[in-house]
Amino acid sequence: MAKGSVKIVAERCKACGFCVEFCPTHVLALSSAFNAKGYHTPYMVHPEKCSGCDLCGMYCPDFAIFGYKDPSAEKQAVTPAASGTETKEEQDAR
């Protein structure tokens, strides 16, 4: 299951390819579709691999892409700790 996702604002994109190049999990690729400016925008080839790290957004010069963590995936990761086997540190953190 994907831990994150990407939001792409296609009309801001100028197809520089930085997001595709610097994605550590190789989630993105440039599509064959065009935006209104005539550029090939990115899309998620392997959405299940997305970690939500937002490196794509950090490298984008036009603020056309944003990576984010999926809140439901984080809740699932926390669920095993709620089984009643909490450590002393977890109890003190409350």
Give pLDDT tens digits for 29-85.
Answer: 999 999 999 999 999 999 999 999 999 999 999 999 999 998 876 566 555 555 555
Residue 55 CA to residue 63 CA, distance in Å, equals 12
87 pLDDT band, cuts 50/70/90, is low
Question: Between β-strands 4-8 and 65-69, what pairing exists: parallel, antiparallel or unpaired?
Answer: antiparallel
The residues with which 44 forms a beta bridge, in sequence order, are 28
